[in-house]
Amino acid sequence: MHEMGHAIYDQNNDPKYNGTFLFGSPTYGLHEAQARFYENMIGRSFAFWKRHYPKLEEVFPKQLAGINSLEYYRFINHAKRSKIRTEADELTYPLHIMVRYEIEKELFEDKLKVRDIPKRWRTLMANYVGVRPKDDLEGPLQDIHWALGSFGYFPVYALANAYAVQIYNAMNRDLNVESVIENENIYLINDWLKVKINRFGASKTAEELLIEATGEAFNPKYYIDYLKNKFTMLKNLEELKK
């Protein structure tokens, strides 16, 4: 669903930008925001799984025997310390980004040698996330970004999370997003994103698009409130089960 968010962004670009430098989005942060929107706001929502869980049960009847949609929803949103970024929950995910960002800064400031990355990684994971990788496959080799030369990319994911929530908040003023998801009318979400953001490609700055789509400049408060509200609600669900 994450990668689908990327694909829909590009598909929703105005065709006049095809083959030009204005195709895509003005920043990686805004593109990743849409990917994280589909992954988290839709893919980890109860509305989505309330509707589609029966289909999942058909595919995995043995594995999901005795597990209802609410339990599944709680499971895929369970907050825990993990070693792998792409498997991290929404609450701990930014901590993984911090580890990578600190290492990148130290590399470019000549405070850290490449050969010392694994050791530094283990230290920062212990300090920030509270876990230590057992090997480099659970450590700095788990992501392809540095091997591709994509230094400075990781902070984009943290910014994208906050962008996504601000966009989600604005979208809810025009649509009942949970109802749209539950009733399989996700085309309304696609259309909203196309009209408000996607169709402009990179012809406007990310700041301009965010202001026009949400009515204000970047405001991380929405993201902080979203995390507090969601994980407080999940904690209450856990308490009710007990």
Residues carrying an active site annotation: 3
Q: Which residues contact 148 (CB under 8 A, 6 or more apart)?
A: none
Q: Is 28 left (phi over 0), alpha (psi -120 to 50) or beta?
A: alpha
Among the listed residues 210, 191, 187, the one whose alpha carbon sits nearest the alpha carbon of residue 199: 191
Phi first, then psi, for residue 183 (nearest 5°) are -95, 15
Task: Give the CA distances from residue 20 to residues 6, 15, 199, 203, 215, in Å, rounded to whole numbers and listed in that order.
Answer: 18, 10, 14, 10, 28
Apex CA 95: angle with CA 237 and CA 169, to 5°? 60
